[in-house]
A and B are shown apart, each in its own frame.
Chain A
Amino acid sequence: MHGLINRAVQCFLRDAYGADTWRAVAADAGIGANGFEAMLSYDDTLTDALLVAAVQRLDRPCEQILEDLGTFLVSHPSFEGLRRLLRFGGVGFVDFLFSLDDLPGRGRLAVPDLDLPQLEMIEDDGTAGRYRLLCRARHQGFGHVMLGVLRAMADDYGALALLEHRHTDEDAAIIDIHLLDQRHASGRAFDLAEGWRGG
């Protein structure tokens, strides 16, 4: 698994549960307290060991931890950059949803060996406002992370949406999206070129 992903888990555990918890989880998983480097790749088994250790230490189901991780990545101030990159997906939540098809490609553009899940957004024919996000990844956990990301992005856009995660037969995850109101709240501000200011 790419260091960026491992490091995201590390930062989440450290910032959401404290440095002591991170150190304990790292020790349980046989990872040094320094943790992961963002731009190196690591064996997948290390990520699994990390999650197993986190589940035991936090005494919470893996799915919940992963969903919280997704929300954390979008909403925590230290990951503002990631939120901004996602907001480039479109001016409204629906635009954003459809931009997810391009997410793996955009990720690869930035970091060539970053293996993000393949995402496919499907619009339901029958009912307006109903969508399905098909998520195919090497690691089952990505679907739950995406659920957390979508929840936080709906808030970010000020949209009101019901989201539900389920598995398919073919090892993929589906997130059912029921968009009730695209402009429910004002959402957070986003300027295209804000990222350049001051830096």
Chain B
Amino acid sequence: MSAARAPTAPVLPVGLDALGRLMPMSLWVGPRGIIHGAGPTLAKLFAGQTLIGAEFFDLFVMLRPRNVGDPSALVQCGGQRLKLRLRQPPHTGLRGQCVALTGGQGVLLNMSFGIAVADAVRDHRLTDSDFTPTDLAVEMLYLIEAKSAAMEELRRLNLRLQEARAAAENQALTDALTGLRNRRAMDLALEDAAQRHIAFGLLHVDLDRFKQVNDTLGHAAGDHVLAHVARILREETRADDTVARVGGDEFVLILPGLTSGRALNRIAERIIRQIEAPVRFDGQLCRVSASIGMTSSVHYPAPRPDRLLSDADRALYVSKNRGRGRYTLFTPSLKGDPACHCRAEPGTAQGQGAPGARA
């Protein structure tokens, strides 16, 4: 009866140099935690220091698994994912795996930089030759570079597109002739104010005698007058106000926070006085005036843009019918008989004093 001898697995005879070439970031840690061998790339991380003979735990901090602080615990880590870092600056992070060596000769530990490979390459001035052909680290670096370059281009493209979109949106909201906002912008501003429950005053301004200027002095003179009026409207309003040209010689002003009749009357008065000052064009004096109809969002329990616009329009017609260069604040009494406001005679107190006749 012959005792069956357990077949012994052959032991791989390989020198430290060859091992270092295959695994340049490998480390042989002896049973007492002394480093017996180190791959050339790993040695580069300790420029000027001798690794052989040094204590493993003097040079490396084991982050995971936790509580691995002595050589015997290291042997127990076989097969697990290890996370380490250098004890000294720049504290390069490493990950790796170790296997116990036969005959109680300690462990063989192989490492890589993982996610921080780019930082490690920079910090330790590594080159292509520090990585083996089987290691994907260089491909990873290539990807990082290529992706960063592409991302940078896309970022610039994004910014350009964003600017272009802002410019296009601005154009779509701007009246080309006067640079004021257009009807669409006015609609958006009214909707926005209604949605955000912002109280505001609304002025509907219509130029008087503008058609005569156009007919007698030509369109260029008309355009000149419109630009001049636009300038006045801008000067008489604040940065947060919306000033829009909504038709040939019609303008709408949305004035957040300006809701009292007195404040609106005052601003209407100023606007008309400024517009009535003659404008010189090509040696000729152009004379126009303006009629204004106004309303205030505080007069409505639930201010709806179309309702406010039609009420301001109604007040404007009262102004027109009372003679040129007038302003009228809408009051519910203007609402009554639709025929009434058209036939209103100049000077009649339609709104019990609310329609302001100018001095």
Contact = CB atoms under 8 A, between A and B. Distances in A.
Same complex origin of A and B: yes
Nearest to B191: A27
Interface hub of A28, A106, A110, A112 (most chain B Cβ within 10 A) = A112
Interface string A94-123: 010010011001100111100000000001
B158 interface: yes
B162 A109 contact: no
B151 A111 contact: yes
B115 A39 contact: no
Given A95-B81, A109-B144, A112-B151, A27 B196 contact: yes
Interface string A65-92: 0000000000000000000000000000
Contact of A112 (B64, B148, B192, B196): B148
A185 interface: no
Contacts of A101: 83
Nearest to A28: B196
B158 A27 contact: no
Contacts, number: 31
A21 to B, nearest CB: 14
Contacts of A37: 158, 162
A125 interface: yes
Interface string B115-137: 11000000000000000000000
Nearest to B144: A109
Q: In terms of DSSP, what is the predominant structure of the interface of chain A?
A: helix
A16 B32 CA distance: 59
B116 A39 contact: no
Contacts of A27: 192, 195-196
Contacts of A112: 148, 151
Interface in B137-184: 144, 147-148, 151, 154-155, 158-159, 162
A129 to B, nearest CB: 15
Nearest to B117: A109
Interface in A24-64: 27-28, 37, 39-40
B67 interface: yes
Interface string A147-163: 00000000000000000
Given A27-B196, A123-B66, A125-B67, A105 B154 contact: no
Interface in B83-132: 83, 114-116
Contacts of B159: 40
Nearest to A38: B158
Contact of A109 (B64, B115, B195, B196): B115
A101 B114 CA distance: 12
A95 B83 CA distance: 12
Given A106-B115, A111-B151, 7 more contacts: A27-B196, A39-B155, A40-B158, A98-B64, A98-B81, A105-B115, A125-B66
The 10 closest A-B pairs by CB, nearest first: A105-B115, A102-B115, A39-B158, A27-B195, A123-B66, A106-B115, A40-B158, A98-B64, A39-B155, A40-B162
10 contacts: A27-B192, A27-B196, A28-B196, A98-B81, A101-B83, A102-B115, A105-B115, A109-B115, A109-B144, A112-B151
Interface of B: 64, 66-67, 81, 83, 114-116, 144, 147-148, 151, 154-155, 158-159, 162, 192, 195-196
